[in-house]
Structures are given as structure tokens and as C-alpha cells.
Chain A
Amino acid sequence: MSWAAHEFEHYFLQKHVGVKASFFGLVVGASVPDLFTKRFVYAAQNPAQFHRGWPGMGWTHSFIFGLAMAILVLALTRSRNWAVGILIGQWAHVATDVCDTAGVMPFFPFSTQSFSISMWKHAAASGRHGDAAAYYSSLGGVWDLFWFVMVVLFARNVLKAEYFRRVVVPADIGVWSFFHRRLHLSANGMLVVYRAYFLYGFSRMTAWFLYARFEVKVPWQPWWGGPGYLPGNDLSDAGPGEMVLRTLIGGVLFCIFVWLLWIVFVRRLWNRGYDPAVTTRGKGLRAVFH
């Protein structure tokens, strides 16, 4: 599983969606897969199977779950920005979790094949602290650092107060008004809330890295499939070719399913949805990214 990368991704995605998605939609979408599972993962008999597998809660880490949530939110609130935010946030979470040995079932239920590139070991079986130490001793920690650097180098403007006022607030005026009027947060306080995920990501990345190096002193092994001091936790015994083929078949079926959903009723929901005054959408991917 990824740790701080999930927080940094919000800001990188925010740069690319601008006023076409709600920032909180992104956050909720990216948080929900682990919100449903993380609390119970460390107590499970087989944490990797429970977290990512089937039978288990692996469906929370599939594209169809994000799609279902987005459709539900669009139907209930009619807010396109929230639906788009949730969809992109959840899909980004799924794509990121492909990197560890447990992988994800991206096209569940059309394929229950776990897809993984095994960059680092899924170490939830070692408990919460052991998991943190293992993650920050492997390429997982480097992955977090990579996303931190990506945000700082290429998306740092989204952290600025001016961007927050000009883009983030108008894209989701309802939620920010709630913070302002009901929770009595100042403009500066809301800016802190917006930046908090970035600060949280940086803090937990640093703290757990220091914990792994100086507290439990586990070896730092940032190479493919590390850390070496833990056993592997693969959910699938399929070879790479078989894994790709099964996932591709699932992907094709998933695309057909999404297209059918769009024709049958999602297009109608989308058309009756509303956008904030500042949002103008183009066709295709331009409807979501700017």
C-alpha cells in the first residue's frame, strides 16, 4: 500500500483538473478505499487478502467502486464537480496501489486477477508499525518522495493562497462556505485545511522514515521487491503474461460495461447535473481535465 503518496497526489491532480473537480471530492475519492479497510487490515488473519483480494475487501480498490460512488453522488447531489473529484481520486488510489506485491483487482468483478508490478512488499502482516518500517525501507518511501518532489517541482502553484482563492474555492463554493459560516474558519484557516493534506503527507513520510532508520533500525533496501528482510505477500501465482492477459480481458469488459451505463442512464444524470459558475467543460477528456 502507499502511504503519503496518496496525500501528495491530491495536489498533482488538482493542478490538472482546476475548477473541473472539487478538491474535497478528490480527497474523499482517494481516501475511501482505505477508509473501508485500513482499520481492520492489521487485525485480519491474512491482511493482504483482506485488503486487496477476493474474497475480501479488494473490491474497494477497483475502478468500479469509484465509478459506483461517483454515479451515486451525481444522482444524489447533481454536482458534477463532486462526482468527477471522487472518480479521479479513487482511480488514482487504485492506480497507485498497483505498485506493491499485493496489487489490486482494477477491473473487478470482470476479472479477479490481482495486478501488481511488485515494486515493494505489502507488509501489513507485520502490524502497523512493522508495515510503516517496511514501507519506508523500500521503494515505497522513494515513491512517496517522488510524489512530493513532483508536487514541489511541477504543481507548487496549487499550494499558493492566490490559487486557493481563484480556483479551489470557486470549484466547490458550498463546502468552503460551510467551513466559513458554520465552522467559523477564517480565510487563513481554510487555506490551512486545504494545505493540511500536504503537510500531513510530508510529516508522516519524514516521521516514519526516521522511525525506520533510528528507532527500529531495519535495513534500508530501496530496490525492486524490497525490503528483503520480509517474506513476499503476492496474492496471485499467475506469471506476468497471464496476469496482463487476464487484466486486459477484464479491462475490455469493464469498458463495455461503462459505455452501456453511460448510454442507459449515466448520460442523463450527467446532463441534469450542474457545474459551478466558473466551470466550463469541453468534450472527451477536456470535460474533466483542463
Chain B
Amino acid sequence: MKTRLIYGASVVAYITITLFTKKLLTWNLAMLYFVVTIDLLPRLYRRVRFGEPFGQADL
């Protein structure tokens, strides 16, 4: 549920940014944007808030 919320918030923010700036991020920047907002920022938050390790998870 939490993951879906993060995905949803990221998409809504992307659409809002696009509408306000009238510029659509290109596909490569979009990929970076989604990785940062859906994976890196939540990991950073958990790291700061709960002290979780920031390392890679195994495949």
C-alpha cells in the first residue's frame, strides 16, 4: 500500500511539474526522476528517520 502511494505521488508530481513548466522531461531524465522519487528519496528518508542501512539489496 505504501509503495503504491509513493508511485502515485511520484506520477502526480511529474504531471504537475509538466503542466506548470510546459516542459516534458525527456525519457532519460524521466527515468532518473522516477528512480530518485520512488527509490532513492524513500530510502534516504528511512535512513535518516529509522537508521536503516542505505546499501544495495540483493537481487
Binding site for B on A (CB under 8 A): 7, 31, 129, 132, 165, 169, 176, 180, 184-190, 192-193, 195-197, 199-200, 202-204, 206-208, 210-211, 215
Contact = CB atoms under 8 A, between A and B. Distances in A.
A199 B43 CA distance: 20
B1 to A, nearest CB: 15
Interface residues of B, number: 23
B39 A196 contact: no
B48 interface: no
A203 B39 contact: no
Nearest to A210: B19
Interface string B15-45: 1001100101001001100110011100100
Contacts of A7: 27
Contact of A186 (B15, B18, B43): B43
A200 B14 CA distance: 9
Contact of A204 (B18, B22, B40, B59): B18
A203 B40 contact: no
A133 B51 CA distance: 47
A169 B43 CA distance: 22
B18 A207 contact: yes
A192 B18 contact: no
Contacts, number: 76
A180 B40 contact: no
A237 B58 CA distance: 58
A190 B39 CA distance: 9
25 contacts: A7-B27, A169-B59, A184-B56, A185-B39, A185-B56, A186-B43, A186-B57, A187-B56, A188-B57, A192-B38, A193-B34, A196-B30, A196-B31, A199-B10, A199-B11, A199-B14, A200-B30, A200-B31, A204-B18, A204-B24, A204-B30, A207-B14, A208-B18, A210-B19, A215-B19
Contacts of A195: 34
Interface of A is mostly: helix
Given A186-B56, A189-B39, A203-B30, 18 more contacts: A165-B59, A169-B59, A184-B56, A187-B57, A187-B58, A188-B57, A189-B35, A192-B35, A193-B34, A195-B34, A199-B7, A199-B30, A200-B30, A203-B14, A203-B18, A207-B15, A207-B24, A210-B19
A257 B51 CA distance: 62
A49 to B, nearest CB: 24
A193 B35 contact: yes
Q: Which 3 A-B pairs have the closest CB atoms?
A: A207-B18, A189-B39, A200-B30
A192 B39 contact: yes
Q: Which of B7, B19, B27, B43 has the most CB of A within 10 A?
A: B27
B7 to A, nearest CB: 7
A129 B35 contact: no
A199 B34 contact: yes
B15 A210 contact: yes
A185 B11 CA distance: 20
A192 B11 contact: no
